[in-house]
Amino acid sequence: MREIPGRRRRLRFRRGRRGAGMEGVAKTVPGQLDAALLYATAWGWPVLPGVGLRSGGARTDAGTAAVASCACPDPECVVPGAHPFDPGLLAATTDARMIRWWFGGRPDAPVLLATGGRAPCAVSLPAAAGARALAALDAQGMRLGPVVATPDRMALLVAPYGLERLGELLYAKDSVPGSLRFHGDGGYLPLPPSVTGTGQVRWERAPLEGSARPWLPDVEAVVDALVEASTSTPGGGSRLAY
């Protein structure tokens, strides 16, 4: 399933030597190549480089693109830098040699996770609604997996789910805000330490230390809180760039 809208009916990578635990590794990954190798070879997540931004775009000290132009041919691209182009999404792999070849030639390319299949899926929502959802889930004592953040959105990584399963969940809701995105089969998600047209991608909740592969909750465990937070947050409803 491709990324679909809802039905309407900090931790950063730092330079240095690698630590022993998974959180320690994440802290010391210096760039996109090592990050991509970590995701693919240690965690078994298929990745590929995103199209990236055109050279010469001005950026702030925080890494946010002040003038962000996608490197793809579409002058009105609504997700600048943050989507596959060449190679296409189906090329996503866990093969270290291919990843080294891709990112060796394009060291600044965003790292994209190909969601679905045996890889993680995700549910994303506007940043303000995401912060409210995390607070609600924490108050419930819910165990969460990694959470990815950009300046304008958050994405909770969840265990793989299929279209039929997701459809049943959404059908049971009175309404699902259009600002929610469900990244399943055929979808993708930029991972840290990528920089896209909206700015720096970072861990809002980093993978826990000591895990060979990050633990992921089922989508059923988090979807109610995400729907409620999106519905109740001003501006968290249907406004979406794409």
**Contact between 134 and 147 (Cβ < 8 Å):** yes
Whether the predicted pLDDT of 9 surpasses 80: no
Q: Which alpha helices (H) appear in 54-188, and where do they start and end?
A: 96-105, 127-139, 163-171
pLDDT at 21: 37
Mean pLDDT of 200-229: 90
pLDDT at 118: 92
Mean pLDDT of 187-195: 97
pLDDT at 231: 87
pLDDT at 97: 98
Q: Which helix (H) or strand (E) holds 232?
A: helix 219-232
Buried b or exposed e, range 182-203, using 16+ CB within 10 angstroms: bbbbbbbbbbbbbbbbbbbbbb
Q: Which residue is it, tokens 């950063």?
A: 12
pLDDT at 30: 53
Angle between helices 219-232 and 127-139 (to 10 degrees): 130
Residues 6 or more apart whose CB falls under 8 angstroms from that of 174 comprise 9
**Contact between 79 and 153 (Cβ < 8 Å):** no
Q: Which helix (H) or strand (E) holds 28?
A: helix 22-28
- Judged by DSSP in three states, 117 sits in coil
110-135 pLDDT, tens digit per residue, is: 999 999 999 999 999 999 999 999 99
pLDDT at 68: 76
138-172 pLDDT, tens digit per residue, is: 999 999 999 999 999 999 999 999 888 888 888 88
Q: Which of 12-26, 48-62, 160-174, 181-195 has the lowest mean pLDDT?
A: 12-26
CB neighbours of residue 88 within 10 Å: 9
pLDDT at 232: 83
pLDDT at 164: 85
Higher per-residue confidence, 114 vs 180? 114
53-104 pLDDT, tens digit per residue, is: 987 543 444 444 445 799 999 999 999 999 999 999 999 999 999 999 999 9
Structure tokens at 156: 């909770």
Q: Model confidence at 236, in pLDDT bands (50, 70, 90)?
A: low
pLDDT at 177: 85
Listed by start position, the domains of the chain span 4-232
Q: What is the phi/psi pair of residue 5, to 5°?
A: -75, 165
Q: Model confidence at 203, in pLDDT bands (50, 70, 90)?
A: very high
Mean pLDDT, rounded, of the chain: 82
What is the residue type of 41?
T
CA distances (Å), origin 186, targets 42, 120, 177, 242: 22, 12, 21, 16
CA distances (Å), origin 18, targets 24, 25, 35, 130, 137: 7, 5, 11, 30, 31
Rounded to 5°, angle at Cα 202 from 79 and 207: 125
Q: 0.85 cut: is pTM over it?
A: no
Q: Model confidence at 241, in pLDDT bands (50, 70, 90)?
A: very low
